[in-house]
Structure 1
Amino acid sequence: MRKISLMMTVSLDGYMEGPDRDIDWHLVDEELHQHMNDTLKHMGAFVDGRVTHELMAAYWPTADADPDTPAVMAEFARIWRDMPKIVYSRTLPSGPAEWNTTIVPEVVPEEVQALKEQPGGDLGLGGADLAATFLRLGLVDEIKVYVNPIVLGRGKPMFPVSDTRTPLRLTESRTFGNGVVLLRYERVTPNSAAS
């Protein structure tokens, strides 16, 4: 069965965006970008909220057309463009959209479960608001947090205040040359707690 894999870049103090929605503090060098490419190219689909999707669609569809684009970024442009994308939005029209995208108006757990049961690679989840909904509904199977060596002090937290507890087990950690640390966790389910 496919997993829902939440991937998020955060500051050391847990913010995924700065106070003005800025993300210019994200440290993405060639090593980290190649790691992302190697991870994401095996996904079955990207699952995003509207804001994340529009941010990606504003740049990546044609990023590889510029001859000055670094090879690792051009590779990601092709990965992003070709990957099926499921975008949850109440404001965009439902159905097929540009760049291999399907717009879905609501998160319906039974529909997500059916999606997980389809063949193919795992599903990469992005967007803090959508992630909060998936977490609340118990739909996230793993969380990959890329902690950047910076304290922002304020901004949008990765996890909003919630009454939902989600027990996790650390399954991987990796330090990149630029100081970013990957922490990968799997959700602990009653069946996996004994293993």
Structure 2
Amino acid sequence: MNRIVTSISLSLDGFFEGPDHDIDWHTVDEEVHQHFNDYFRTMGGFVEGRVTYELMEEFWPTADQDPANEGPMAEFAGIWRDVPKFVFSRTLESVGPNATLLHEVDPEQVRGLRDAASGDLAVGGADLLESFRRADLIDEYRIYVHPVILGRGRRFFRDAEERQMLRLVETRTFGNGVAMLRYETVRA
């Protein structure tokens, strides 16, 4: 059965972006980027909020046309174009090729998308992910801890009304010090 997974890069102190919405502290070298490519290539779809979609759509569709972007970066451009996208937005009126626009997070509709996909769905975007988490739609968390302490910024996990138990199923340390922690959601 397909799963709904999230992959998020965090600082050691739990921020996913710096105080000015910056992510230039991410230490994504060729090894880490190739790992992402190998993983995202298997996805049945990218599920994103408006902000994440617009940021990704601004750069990745043509990133492989720039000679400065080679290797895993150029490779990801093709993955981005090929993998279907489901974009949740109340304000967008249209989305680009290979993308479907959805306006509300309906858990039954999301489960239908998951079940119909050719592989797992990767959900991205902090606000959308929070909606998915509250609706108990996240099956797996892939947390990439970067070797940096930001001190301030936007925390990834918000206050929750209920405790969510997770089971660690995999760890991996990359040569640049990034550590991946992969957790499955534990359900009764």
TM-score (norm 2): 0.97
Indicate which of 97, 118, 121 corresponds to 1:120. 118
Separation in structure 2 between the aligned mates of residue 60 and residue 113 of structure 1, nearest angstrom: 27
Task: Map 1:176-191; keep pairs closer than 5 Å.
Answer: 176-190=174-188
Say whether 1:137 aligns with 2:139.
no
Residue 23 of structure 1 pairs with residue 23 of structure 2: yes
For the 8 Å contact 1:5–1:142, the answer to whether it is kept is yes
Superposition deviation, residue 67 in structure 1: 2.1
1:65 aligns with 2:65: yes
Instruction: Read off the aligned partner of 1:43 and give its amino acid letter.
Output: M
Counterpart for residue 104 of structure 1: 102
Deviation at 1:45, TM superposition (A): 0.2
Whole-Å separation in 2 of the counterparts to 1:85 and 1:104: 10
Question: Counterparts of 1:8 and 1:119 in 2: how far apart (Å)?
Answer: 21
Distance in 1 of aligned mates of 2:8 and 2:172:
15
SS of corresponding position for 1:53 = helix
Are 1:34 and 2:34 an aligned pair? yes
Call closer, same or farther: CA 1:75–1:87 in 2, change over 3 Å: same
- In the alignment, the residues of structure 2 paired with residue 117 and residue 77 of structure 1 have an alpha-carbon distance, to the nearest angstrom, of 26
Structure 1 residues 31, 103: CA separation in 2 closer, same or farther (over 3 Å shift)?
A: same
8 Å Cα contact 2:45/2:122 also seen in 1: yes
Alignment check: 8 A CA contact 2:45 2:117 kept: no
Letter in 2 for 1:163: E
> Cα deviation per residue 1:94-135 (whole Å; 9 max; x = unaligned)?
6xx213111100000010111122151100011111111100
CA distance in 1, matches of 2:16, 2:47: 17
**1:59 alignment partner, SS class:** helix
Q: Distance in 2 between matches of 1:46 and 1:119?
A: 10
Match for 2:64: what amino acid?
A: D
1:33 positional shift: 0.3
Partner Cα separation in structure 1 for residue 171 and residue 108 of structure 2: 32
Q: Distance in 2 between matches of 1:178 and 1:127?
A: 25
One-letter identity of the residue aligned with 1:14: G
The residue matched to 1:51 in structure 2 has which SS?
Answer: helix
The letter for the 2-side match of 1:83 is V
Q: How does 1:81-96 map to 2 (within 5 A)?
A: 81-93=81-93
Match of 1:55 in 2: 55
Partners of 1:31 and 1:129 lie apart in 2 by 29
Aligned length: 188
Percent identical among aligned pairs is 56
Q: 4+ residue runs of structure 1 moved beyond 2 angstroms? A: none
Distance 1:67 1:10 in 2: 29
1:193 alignment counterpart: none
CA distance in 2, matches of 1:119, 1:45: 7
- Compute the RMSD of aligned alpha carbons: 1.0
1:79 alignment partner in structure 2: 79
